[in-house]
């Protein structure tokens, strides 16, 4: 691969869902803020990768203190988050102009492994857009006007991050106006007319949104 | 509630998916086979509940030894499993004739809580059929002829057990011939023309199918 690699790590959480005073990206996992684990995963995959961290600007100072406290040395740029995830990602993309491969990752997925990062970059390099997915374990039902019906779980995949794209595709896609239908970056890219390819993720790559998830993540790290 | 309550706990696993010599329902969780935890959950909810455990007949002797080894005293009947889950459940249902409320539960969901059991029984008593469901955390995509498209995750629910039914509904439903479309008991009941109501489950109520799940379950029990 010759293209430069850039990771945009989006951590816009304000701690509301967790019912904690501290935003979830700063909660400690094995003695260190979740967000630091996440950054380390990308740095461990490729120490040359450019890392952009998107945070609400109100959290910049606190993050800076955390970095000092934990002697966190991995170089990264801070970009101010927007009102919705779409705008947070857009703010980060606005700082990029060179031809590159861009990974967009949830700040609260600290258990991302190098294998998944590698598979996503390889597929994005090949086809332009790649996202990691996993199978469903439980049965699934679709809701419809107050009722529900069983659907075939093998027809579905759960979607994770990092979602990876050639820069020209993701930059072009984020020129669109925001839509409520944009549930993730892949949906933005698809709305712009591109197709997205699936690569295999891992079940460990959970998104930490509740204290229960934090407990799970601790278990995975043992 | 005046109806008698019966729990059918289905543990047909032969250990193939786990790649362990020992079937997953017998793997130890906090020092005790998973299946014993599961039985205890129902017994703790209502000590008067009739409990039927479905196991491959080849495992009866081993189970008996495990019960002796762990001094497991909760009264339950053993029923021989069939070639597929459908036939295992049917074998258990064939032993029931009285009017009752019947819970059908995966033997490898040992973290079922009394609250969920209570909500399911209450809704089954009211409407005839109730299953516990939870929201999706990750985004979800639907596969279609080699491609995939983003679908709205709030239109879907993940389905768990115990699935609960009035005896006349579930017994009648299992008179149908087996179909590959039967992914769970709710789908059997729906195919017979009944409707099924959703109640809120809990994320802790995981199905243990891999060693990773076992690790998660251990974390939940701490």
Question: What was the pLDDT predicted at B12?
Answer: 80
Look up the ipTM and state it.
0.85
Question: What was the pLDDT predicted at B181?
Answer: 86
Q: Where are the domains of chain A?
A: 4-221
Q: What is the pLDDT of residues B87-137, one digit of tens each?
A: 999 999 999 999 999 999 999 999 999 999 999 999 999 999 999 999 998
Q: What is the pTM of this model?
A: 0.88
* Residues sharing a CB contact under 8 Å with residue B221, sequence separation 6 or more, in sequence order: B29, B30, B111
Calculate what percentage of chain B has a pLDDT beyond 70.
95
On the question of pLDDT at B66 being above 80, the answer is: yes
Query: Which residues of chain A lie closer than 8 angstroms to B148, CB-CB?
Result: 133, 157, 196, 198
For B138-150, the DSSP string reads SEEEEEETTEEEE
Q: What is the pLDDT of residues A190-221, one digit of tens each?
A: 999 999 999 999 999 999 988 889 988 998 88
Q: How large is the angle between the packed helices A34-45 and A114-127, nearest 10 degrees? A: 60
| H or E segment to which residue B77 belongs | strand B77-80
Question: What was the pLDDT predicted at A19?
Answer: 55
Low-confidence ranges of chain A (pLDDT < 70): 1, 13-21
Question: What was the pLDDT predicted at B212?
Answer: 86
Q: CB pairs below 8 Å between A and B: how many?
A: 113
Max CA distance (Å), chain B: 53
The answer to whether A82 touches A109, Cβ cutoff 8 Å, is no
The answer to whether B108 touches B101, Cβ cutoff 8 Å, is no
Taking CB atoms and an 8 Å limit, are B207 and A137 in contact across chains? Answer: yes
| H or E segment to which residue B106 belongs | strand B100-106
Question: What was the pLDDT predicted at A220?
Answer: 85
Question: What was the pLDDT predicted at A1?
Answer: 53
**Which candidate, B111, B108, B89, B110, places its Cα nearest to that of B6?**
B89
| Domain A4-221 in this protein, CATH class | alpha beta
The answer to whether B216 touches A214, Cβ cutoff 8 Å, is no
Give the residue from A136, A139, A183 with the most B CB atoms within 10 Å of its CB, the best one to mutate. Answer: A139
Instruction: Tell me the two tokens of residue B117.
Output: 């059991």
Question: What was the pLDDT predicted at A183?
Answer: 86
């Amino acid at each position: 691969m010759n293209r430069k690699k850039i990771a945009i790590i989006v951590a816009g959480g304000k701690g509301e869902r967790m019912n904690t005073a501290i935003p979830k990206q700063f909660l400690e996992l094995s003695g260190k803020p979740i967000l630091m684990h996440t950054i380390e995963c990308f740095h461990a995959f490729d120490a040359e990768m450019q890392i952009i961290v998107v945070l609400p600007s109100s959290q910049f100072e606190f993050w800076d203190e955390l970095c000092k406290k934990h002697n966190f040395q991995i170089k990264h740029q801070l970009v101010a988050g927007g009102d919705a995830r779409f705008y947070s990602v857009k703010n980060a993309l606005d700082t990029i102009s060179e031809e590159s491969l861009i990974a967009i990752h949830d700040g609260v997925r600290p258990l991302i492994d190098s294998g998944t990062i590698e598979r996503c970059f390889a597929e994005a390099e090949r086809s332009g857009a790649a996202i990691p997915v996993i199978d469903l374990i439980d049965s699934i039902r679709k809701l419809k006007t107050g009722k529900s019906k069983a659907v075939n779980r093998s027809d579905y995949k759960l979607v994770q991050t990092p979602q990876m794209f050639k820069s020209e595709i993701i930059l072009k896609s984020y020129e669109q106006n925001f839509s409520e239908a944009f549930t993730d970056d892949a949906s933005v890219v698809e709305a712009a007319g591109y197709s997205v390819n699936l690569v295999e993720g891992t079940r460990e790559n959970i998104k930490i949104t509740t204290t229960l998830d934090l407990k799970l993540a601790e278990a995975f790290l043992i």
